[in-house]
Amino acid sequence: MKRILYMLVLVMISACSENVAPVNYVILKGKLTYPQLKREVTLSVKDSKDNINLIADNDGVFLDTLWLEKPSYFTGLYFKPFGLYLKSGMELQLTFTDTLSMPAFSGKGSAENIILNTKNKRYEDLIGSYPFTRFLSLPRADYDQEVDQYVADINSMIRANKEVLDDDFITKYLQNADTIKSSMEPLYQRQQQMIRELSPGTPSPDFKDYVNYTGGTTSLQDLRGKYVYIDIWATWCKPCKYEIPYLEKIENFYEDSNIEFVSISIDRKEEEQAWRSMIEEKKMGGIQLWAGKNKDIEFVDKYYVQGIPRFILLDPDGKIIEYDAPRPSDPKLKEILDRLL
């Protein structure tokens, strides 16, 4: 009888274990030190329009459950973006102590997220801000050395913590670190070509007969004898418009100096009136030119312009001083102009 009961107990235990569903969710807890400033933390996934909003109560506390089919990487945003790696079974605490720092992580899953955000910060330090000019301008030996050191440091950090890290995390981020050289190589080659073609002292690519707001046309040749600070912009470009008042201050400060300030709009052919209206509305000074009448803007292409605004500084002989000069809002511009003028 006892043997039968024992077997029944084993059968019941086995049946219960078979019916236990696998954990397919993550518990996220959070604490905001200053909920009066903002009570919402947003999580987004690449290539998805659906965001997850974590709403804290008046005390700055939030608690939520996320259902996951597979390990996922999120971009989190409170006041500052941060990375978030989540896998079913994690119970993660995020503590936001201020509006400038990354959250502090604790609980199950904290090791992965501490390393992930350390990795992201190191990567930002490595390549810098877009368009990554300093990093991509390094000589090949220095470039390789910096990338190799970054990869070695990240991989060493992951391997040193492999006992507490999720296997999927280890596989993903070891592979991710090792692909940096191949992923950045096209950008590196392009930047090196720019350096060869647009180095200081090289004659600037030319432009001819751009429409002048005040009438007629203007060519680069017409500006010889003066330093030339060129602003490539468009009326639809918000960062371009942000620089307008700063450019006006620079123009006024160097009004009597041997320098011309030239703004070249790349607004399209059908946007000429928008260009004229904005110049009038904002009372923009300097030489205002419009290149939109040209089907192919060769001058812009030869300067490898992929984002605007872009600023260029030339000497009185039409030779390049800086093919990617500081913006008017950057104090470095005035330092350069003071040395030249």
> Could you give all domains of the chain from N- to C-terminal order, each with its CATH number?
18-108 (2.60.40), 109-197 (no CATH), 210-340 (3.40.30.10)
Q: Is 322 exposed, middle or buried (0-12, 13-18, 19+ CB in 10 A)?
A: middle
Q: What is the pLDDT of residue 21?
A: 55
Give me the residue label for tokens 């919402």: 40
Residue 144: which residues within 8 A CB-CB, separation 6 or more? Answer: 181
Q: What is the pLDDT of residue 270?
A: 83
Tokens of 287: 């030489």
Q: Please give the radius of gyration of the chain, using alpha carbons only, rounded to the nearest integer.
A: 28
Q: Is 302 exposed, middle or buried (0-12, 13-18, 19+ CB in 10 A)?
A: middle
Q: What is the pLDDT of residue 98?
A: 87
For residue 246, how many other CB atoms are within 10 A of its CB?
A: 14
Residue 224: which residues within 8 A CB-CB, separation 6 or more? Answer: 316, 317, 318
Element (H, E) at 81: strand 81-86
Instruction: Give the whole-angstrom CA distance, residue 258 versus residue 148.
Output: 46
Give phi and psi for 39, each to the nearest 5.
Answer: -115, 10
Chain centre distance of CA 310: 16
Q: What is the pLDDT of residue 225?
A: 96
Q: What is the pLDDT of residue 19?
A: 53
Instruction: Give the whole-angstrom CA distance, residue 299 versus residue 327.
Output: 19
Per-residue pLDDT of the chain (341 residues; tens, 9 = 90+): 434 433 333 333 444 444 545 678 999 999 999 888 899 999 998 767 788 999 999 999 999 999 988 899 999 999 999 999 999 999 999 999 988 888 999 999 999 999 999 999 999 999 998 778 889 999 999 998 999 899 899 999 999 999 999 999 998 888 666 777 788 889 899 899 999 999 999 999 999 999 999 999 999 999 999 999 999 999 999 999 999 999 999 999 999 999 999 999 999 888 889 999 999 999 999 999 999 765 557 899 899 888 899 999 999 999 999 999 999 999 999 999 999 99
Amino acid at the residue 324 = D
